[in-house]
């Protein structure tokens, strides 16, 4: 369990390499571009539906190592965002640069907001409940996004192991009102408007951050766990929605990753019970390694 770890163990590359020898840390691996198809069609869907879904964006060569690493972290009781100590997750999201440049502009930035899930197929497990990633305005009048959440499944995501559900933007009265905060902002008035998004391993899902979405509950009828990760991005010509903004073309150093992971564990503690031991490790990493500035903001 991570509660038996101390910060100086977590800070050692050797610890992580010994845990997952098939993964790399500050290696020289090349980025494999995701297969996303016609980005103009994706943008049309993104503006109307509020989300896009592309099957087979990544192959097994990309998904298998990450799936195995996250499974091992789950078995050891280590908070799953620690999967981001490894290069492979950063490389996967870097592979989406063509899509992200189309959606957010060539100077898009990565936000210091990411997470990893392991949802086993049983009734006690579920993804995050209905929510909008941001309730402040993050859209142009035509629904071009200022921010995006990108969600990648590394196993098949099904209704029996926590696949994503959304209320498509064109069925959501909040998109007519242009107001996404306040009471009832996570209520679906017509359940038939809900859309399930089962996805095969290696798919790309992305949504604007006003979209109402959630992960479903697992079931003993499911065949395998749902393993996935998400990362948030924003336009480069908007003020930061969180700090520090990251250059998506640069993978953070090992020590910077530790600081960023500590930040995730602390900022999402409202989603998960957090032991005093884990909180102490995350706080130490955040205070010792969290980069305060990672890019020079433009004009």
Reported as a single tens digit per residue, the pLDDT across 229-256 is: 999 999 999 999 999 999 999 999 999 9
Owning domain of residue 89? 2-239
Give the model's pLDDT for residue 296.
43
How many domains are there within the chain?
1
146 in a structural domain: yes
Give the model's pLDDT for residue 298.
38
Give me the residues paired with residue 147 across strands. Answer: 234
Confidence band for 109, pLDDT divided at 50, 70 and 90: very high
57 and 154 Cβ atoms separated by less than 8 Å: no
User: b vs e for 76-88, b when ≥16 Cβ sit within 10 Å of the residue's Cβ?
Assistant: eebbbbbbbbbbb
Give the model's pLDDT for residue 293.
58
Using CA atoms, how far apart are residues 172 and 157, in angstroms rounded to an integer? Answer: 24
231 in a structural domain: yes
283 in a structural domain: no
66 and 92 Cβ atoms separated by less than 8 Å: yes
Q: State pLDDT tens for residues 36-63.
A: 999 999 999 999 999 999 999 999 999 9
Q: List the CATH number of the domain containing 98.
A: 2.60.120.620
273 in a structural domain: no
Element (H, E) at 72: helix 60-76
Task: Give the lowest-confidence range in 68-72, 78-82, 185-189, 277-281.
Answer: 277-281
Distances (CA, A) of 222 to 2, 69, 201, 219: 28, 21, 15, 5
265 in a structural domain: no
Confidence band for 294, pLDDT divided at 50, 70 and 90: low
Element (H, E) at 195: strand 195-197
Beta strands in 136-251 (DSSP E): 147-153, 164-167, 195-197, 204-208, 212-215, 226-234
235 in a structural domain: yes
286 in a structural domain: no
38 in a structural domain: yes
- Mapped onto helix, strand or coil, the DSSP state of residue 261 is helix
pTM of the complete model: 0.93
- Mapped onto helix, strand or coil, the DSSP state of residue 57 is coil
């Amino acid at each position: 369990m991570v509660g038996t770890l101390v910060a100086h163990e977590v800070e050692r590359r050797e610890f992580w390499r010994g845990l997952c020898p098939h993964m790399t840390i500050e290696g020289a691996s090349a980025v494999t571009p995701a297969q996303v198809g016609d980005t103009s069609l994706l943008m049309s869907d993104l503006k109307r539906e509020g989300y896009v879904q592309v099957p087979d964006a990544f192959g097994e060569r990309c998904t298998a190592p990450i799936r195995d690493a996250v499974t091992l972290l789950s078995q050891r009781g280590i908070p799953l965002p620690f999967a981001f100590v490894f290069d492979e997750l950063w490389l996967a999201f870097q592979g989406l640069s063509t899509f992200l440049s189309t959606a957010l502009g060539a100077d898009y930035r990565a936000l210091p907001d990411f997470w990893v899930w392991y949802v086993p197929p049983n009734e006690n497990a579920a993804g995050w409940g209905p929510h909008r990633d941001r309730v402040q305005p993050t859209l142009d009048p035509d629904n071009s996004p200022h921010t995006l959440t990108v969600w990648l499944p590394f196993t098949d995501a099904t209704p029996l192991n926590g696949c994503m559900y959304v209320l498509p933007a064109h069925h959501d009265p909040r998109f007519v009102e242009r107001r996404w905060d306040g009471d009832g902002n996570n209520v679906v008035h017509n359940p038939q408007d809900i859309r399930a998004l089962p996805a095969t391993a290696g798919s790309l899902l992305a949504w604007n951050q006003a979209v109402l979405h959630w992960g479903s509950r697992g079931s003993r009828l499911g065949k395998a766990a749902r393993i996935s990760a998400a990362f948030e991005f924003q336009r480069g010509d908007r003020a930061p929605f969180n700090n520090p903004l990251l250059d998506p073309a640069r993978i953070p150093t090992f020590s910077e990753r530790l600081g960023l992971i500590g930040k995730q564990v602390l900022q999402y503690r409202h989603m998960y019970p957090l032991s005093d031991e884990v909180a102490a490790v995350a706080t130490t990493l955040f205070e010792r390694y969290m980069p305060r500035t990672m890019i020079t903001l433009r004009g």
